[in-house]
């Protein structure tokens, strides 16, 4: 069947996530320094990150809930710093709003906007991400028709249920979807197992892969993405 929709992973597919998170955490910590000085007197930014990692290890049930996990870690650190429960609740919510706003201030990879503009003319465009960015709050939001996250679905890629949510939303067959992502396991293998067409994006190269990635198309930059989708479309018999 012809391609009906192009569905993207977000982090490290359309933008480099590491500098985004680093900047968001710096903005977040500076806000906390101004509004919760007892916390920053006790925890450095590195120590807060370490606490989040420790909490994730203690609560594996939160593995798909990035926002909830981050807020719970901050909540506990605020209590440990001497804030009351009511103060902690208020500070946690305000601090996360600051973090989340910065989290969505992404710098698209080269040609990301051009690729989305071209694809939008021919296909539905969506997102399925394990992260907690809101694509509609980013500079790329205007080119997306829908978006799903692991947190919203309570299940993460490569679980088939995450991809099934996209199929249910679009009411289409798996081979009518071209899934675009950078992660060989979560994105490419997960989508392929569902019968979707796959395009592996390597703007940020994956190193030390144990075996070749089996995908329908591969691009090293987003300049060639529209061409790759068209190749899949034209290959349909």
Q: Is the pLDDT of residue 237 over 90?
A: no
pLDDT band at 221 (very low <50, low <70, confident <90, very high): very high
Instruction: Give 234's pLDDT tier (boundaries 50, 70, 90).
Output: confident
pLDDT digit string (tens) for 109-138? 999 999 999 999 999 999 999 999 999 999
206 band by pLDDT with thresholds 50, 70 and 90? low
* 49 vs 22: CA distance, rounded Å: 11
d(CA 14, CA 20): 12
Domains of the chain: 5-16+108-235 (3.40.50.1000), 18-103 (1.20.120.1600)
Confidence of residue 198 (pLDDT cuts 50, 70, 90): very high
- How many other CB atoms are found less than 10 A from the CB of residue 235? 11
Q: Where are the alpha helices (DSSP H) in the chain?
A: 17-35, 37-42, 45-58, 66-80, 85-103, 112-122, 150-153, 160-170, 190-193, 225-235
* Contact yes or no for 215/43 (Cβ under 8 A): no
Under 8 Å CB-to-CB from 154, ≥6 apart: which residues?
A: 64, 65
- What are the pLDDT digits (tens) for 62-117? 878 889 999 999 999 999 999 999 999 999 999 999 999 999 999 999 999 999 99
Contact 77, 94 (CB under 8 A): no
The pLDDT of 150-159, averaged and rounded, is: 93
pTM for the model stands at 0.93
* pLDDT in the model for residue 209: 64
């Amino acid at each position: 069947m012809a391609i009906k929709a192009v569905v993207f992973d977000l982090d490290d597919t359309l933008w480099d996530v590491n500098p985004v998170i680093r900047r968001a955490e710096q903005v977040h910590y500076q806000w906390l320094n101004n509004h919760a000085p007892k916390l920053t007197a006790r925890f450095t930014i590195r120590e807060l990150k370490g606490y989040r990692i420790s909490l994730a290890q203690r609560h594996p049930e939160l593995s798909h809930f990035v926002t909830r996990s981050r807020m719970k870690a901050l909540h506990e650190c605020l209590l440990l710093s001497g804030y009351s429960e009511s103060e902690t609740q208020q500070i946690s919510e305000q601090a996360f709003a600051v973090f989340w706003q910065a989290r969505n201030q992404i710098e698209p990879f080269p040609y990301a906007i051009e690729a989305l503009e071209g694809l939008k003319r021919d296909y539905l465009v969506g997102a399925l991400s394990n992260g907690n960015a809101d694509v509609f709050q980013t500079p790329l939001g205007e080119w997306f028709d829908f978006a799903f996250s692991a947190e919203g679905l309570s299940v993460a890629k490569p679980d088939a249920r995450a991809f099934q949510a996209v199929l249910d939303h679009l009411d289409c067959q798996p081979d009518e979807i071209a899934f675009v992502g950078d992660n060989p396991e979560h994105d490419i293998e997960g989508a392929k197992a569902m019968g979707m067409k796959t395009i592996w994006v390597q703007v940020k190269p994956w190193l030390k892969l144990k075996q070749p990635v089996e995908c329908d198309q591969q691009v090293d930059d987003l300049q060639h993405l529209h061409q790759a989708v068209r190749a899949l479309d034209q290959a349909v018999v």
